Each structure stands twice: as structure tokens, then as C-alpha cells.
Amino acid sequence: MSLFATFRSVVRFRQFEWDRTKRQLARCANVEDLRRLAQQHLPAGIFDYIDGGAEDEITLRRNTDDFSRITFRPRVLADVAAINPATQLFSRDIPFPLILAPTGFSRIANSQGELAVARSAERMSLPYTLSTMATRSIEDVAAVTGENARNWFQVYVWRDRALVSDLLARAREANFEAIMITVDTPVLGRRERDIRRGFLLPPKIGLDTIYEGARHPRWTYDFLRAEPITFANLVGSTVGDGRSAVSLAEQVNSQFDQALSWRDVAWFREAWSGPIMLKGIQRHEDAILALKSGVDAIALSNHGGRQLDGAPSPVSLITQVIDATENQIPVICDGGVRRGSDIAKAISLGATACMTGRSYLYGLAAGGERGVDHALRLLEEGFLKTMVLTGAHNVSELNDQLVEMPKAWESQPQNLQESE
């Protein structure tokens, strides 16, 4: 055989994909690959704002690491020809137990920002939570999504309650289904990557950032072509809509209500008739108080490791919280989810659903709306595959028999009393 014939018999050329985004996304086998691609596309300060956490980032790392401390106890020969990954939240179906967490300023990753994320979530029939600090407004998101979209609104509680009332009225008018009150941010956590870089929001391209901008021409072109970024929900308010650059810490520390307490939950019950969630619960005593306060769900969360460094990972709290609240309230596990198998682990420990922030933001930065689609599909496929490989036919078979977790996460009866 000639050398050429031998070569032809062993080499097969794939058809070249001319669409660069498609080509790059096709090579992303998991969320970590999307993260790396996002890092290539974004100026360093923007990537660090999304990727970073508070202080030594111990909690940030713990959120993901703790998932790897759980071991599956898979069943085999379980006839997994048909499985059903669907679940329910607030009496409505979700195709698999995932919610998109609120993330402010999504337009710094890609100019479509929150609109791309909301459209992608709707395509997958998953709930999407729009942040108070979003760069697209409640009305803009409602306009690009259809009747069946599950749009939720995340509330930061401003000192100015009239502003909060107004936001809730706008969300109601725009058919948002539920609200999520973030309770872990009386002041902003110390995000040292942002401090070092002097990061401002919205980002301003000054002399110091021109070098970074030039190194990331695709991002810079997209950023400069789009209309200026503002805190779209706050335009016209007295708290600053981001037309002049401020550090996020200045904005949060001067405007958020540090006197917020359990008494205020009743105010929200009056002001909002739909489901209410508290986001940022970090111990079982507070979960009991949340249950008593009459909210409809709780999200175990440490803000993706961006607030109190040293806080426990959400996944390590699930068992204690489920036991303490006697399964009377849906528990959402928010933080560190990077794989479908992470979702399966949290559900097996008793969570109703997981939330993810960075997974879809990495996708957004890596490939715009198609990148978000890719991230969500990776999580869905991973979740389905885990169900098949563990022999679980539906989400109720994802239970504590299917996993082993570290002893320290178990409920200690003496710890499960309420203490205020």
C-alpha cells in the first residue's frame, strides 16, 4: 500500500465548522470548559468579578468541593429504559430540578445579558430569576419571553420601601410568578479580586482598561456597540441607576436596609400574593423561622461564596434543614453546582431543586445565548445520565439510600432545637 493510501485509511477529516461560536462551544465538554472559554473572552477584571468570591475564597471552593465528598450507591439491572427527570415547584412542572439564580449585571458578560438568559431558560421551561441589579428591566425581560415563561424576581431590600413596592408592582404587572428575597447581603462581602482591580459597575473603559480591552477585541466590540449599561430596574429612582460608575460596595452599603429582620417578611406577605422565597438561609434554626414566617420556599445559599467567607456550603446543610423543617417547605440548594450529577446529589439528600449562577454566566460569556443553552443542556444531560447510572427512575427515587455523605453533615438531634 502506498504511503498516501495508508494515510487515507487512518485519517478522517471532520467537516470544518465555519461558525466560530459553534466550533468553540462544541469543544466544551463541561461547565469548567465553558469557564475557561469565558476567561479567554473576557477582560480579566470582568472575569474576576464573575468568577471570584469573598476574602480567601474558602467558601467559594467549599461550595464545589463538597459535592465531591458525596458518594453514590448506584443500583444496577434496574431497567432504566424509561426515566422521568421532571419535578414540581409551586404546583407547576419543571423538566428537571434546576432554577437559574439571579445575577446582577449580566450584560458585562455579553451585551444581550439577561434577555439571552431569560430566553434560554424559557426554551428549557426552567424558572429564571431576574436580579434587582439587572442590566435589563423587568419589562424588557417580560417582552422577550412568552406566557409560559417562569420569570421570578429577586428582591434586594432597599431602605427606600417605596422603591421596593414599586418594583413588586412592576413584577406583578409583568406576570412574574414569584419573588426571592436575598437575605445574606446587609453589606457587600469583601471581594478582594475586585478591590485589587478597582472594579466599577457598570464597567467604564478608561485608559487603564484599554490594554485589557485590546486583548479581548470581541468583548470590547460587543460592549462598545451596545447601548450603555445601567441598572435597568432602577432608572429614574433615587438610589442611582449606574449612569455614573460606583463601586458595588458603595451602592450596597449605602442603600441596602441593614435593619432588615424577620418582621419584614410579613410586610412582603402583604405586598406580594404569589410565592415568596428567602435566599441565603445558612443554618437550620433560620430555616425553622423561615417556615414559621410563612414563606413558600427557602434557598440554602451563601451567595456563591461572595459574602461571608467561612460560611458552610449549601449542600452540606440540606439534611439538617430538611430534618429541622420536617420536609414542610421546599428547599433549594444554591451554590457550587457545575454538573448534572451535583443536582442529583442535592436532590438525593432532600432538596427540591438546585440553582446555579456561574454555570450559565460562563456560558453567556463563552458564547452568548447559545452558550447559555449549552450550559443548561450540559447540566440536563448530566442529570439524566446520573439518573440512568444510579438506577433512579424518577426524582423520588433520588433519595438518601442512593448517596453517602460525610458524617458531620448528618442531623444531630441535640442541634435541631430552635434557637433564636
CA distances for 349 relative to 71, 151, 158, 321, 415, angstroms? 11, 27, 35, 10, 18
282 or 386: CB nearest ligand FMN: 282
Q: Tell me how many residues contact ligand FMN (CB under 6 A).
A: 23
303 binds ligand FMN (CB under 6 A): yes
Single-letter code of the amino acid located at 367: G
Whether 284 is catalytic is no
| Alpha-carbon gap, residue 345 to 383, rounded angstroms | 10
* Contacting residue, 107, 358, 374, 393, with ligand FMN by CB under 6 A: 358
Pick the piece of the chain touching ligand FMN (CB under 6 A) from 171-179, 238-246, 334-342, 379-387. Answer: 334-342
Site membership for ligand FMN, residue 282 (CB under 6 A): no
Q: Report the C-alpha gap between 390 and 349 in whole angstroms.
A: 14
24, 59, 87, 103: which one contacts ligand FMN (CB under 6 A)?
103
- Closest alpha carbon to 353 in 85, 149, 102: 85
Give me the 160-199 binding string for ligand FMN, x by CB under 6 A, dash otherwise: ----------------------x-----------------
Nearer to ligand FMN, 358 or 374 (CB): 358
- Shortest separation between residue 415's beta carbon and ligand FMN, angstroms: 25
Q: How far is CA 81 from CA 14, 246, 341, 385, in A?
A: 32, 55, 19, 12
- The active-site residue out of 216, 284, 303, 393 is 303
Stretch that binds ligand FMN, among 17-25, 251-259, 301-309, 325-333 (CB under 6 A): 301-309
Query: Cell digits for 108?
Result: 458585562
Q: Is the dihedral of CA 156, 243, 253, 208 positive or negative?
A: positive
101 binding ligand FMN? (CB under 6 A):
yes
Three cell numbers at 204?
Answer: 467604564
Q: Which is nearer to ligand FMN, 30 or 411 (CB)?
A: 30
Contacts with ligand FMN in 148-167 (CB under 6 A)?
A: 154
Asked if 104 interacts with ligand FMN (CB under 6 A), we say yes
Residue 296 is classified by DSSP as S
- Residue from 24, 63, 120, 293 touching ligand FMN (CB under 6 A): that is 63
Residue number closest to ligand FMN, CB atom: 357
Distances (CA, A) of 376 to 122, 124, 130, 224: 11, 8, 17, 28
Indicate the burial class of 419 (C-beta count within 10 angstroms; 0-12, 13-18, 19 or more): exposed
CA distances to 154, 254, 267 from 220, rounded to whole Å, are 29, 31, 43
For ligand FMN, which is the closer residue by CB, 113 or 336? 336
Contacts of 347 (CB under 8 A, 6+ apart): 87, 97, 353, 354, 395, 398
CB of 94 to ligand FMN, least distance (A): 17
Contacting ligand FMN within 1-30 (CB under 6 A): none
Site string for ligand FMN, 123-142 (x = CB under 6 A): --------x-x---------
Question: Which residues have CB under 8 Å from 195's CB, separation 6+?
Answer: none
Separation between Cα atoms, residue 392 and residue 353, nearest integer Å: 16
Q: Which stretch binds ligand FMN (CB under 6 A): 40-48, 263-271, 351-359, 375-383?
A: 351-359
Q: 304 or 371, CB closer to ligand FMN?
A: 304
Task: Please tell me the distance from the alpha carbon of residue 315 to that of residue 174, in angstroms, as a whole number.
Answer: 33
- Under rule CB under 6 A, residue 335 binds ligand FMN: yes
Site mask for ligand FMN (CB under 6 A), range 36-55, x = bound: --------------x-----
115: left (phi over 0), alpha (psi -120 to 50) or beta: alpha
Q: Which residues bind ligand FMN (CB under 6 A)?
A: 50, 63, 101-104, 131, 133, 154, 182, 279, 301, 303-304, 306, 334-337, 356-358, 361
Q: Which residues are catalytic?
A: 303
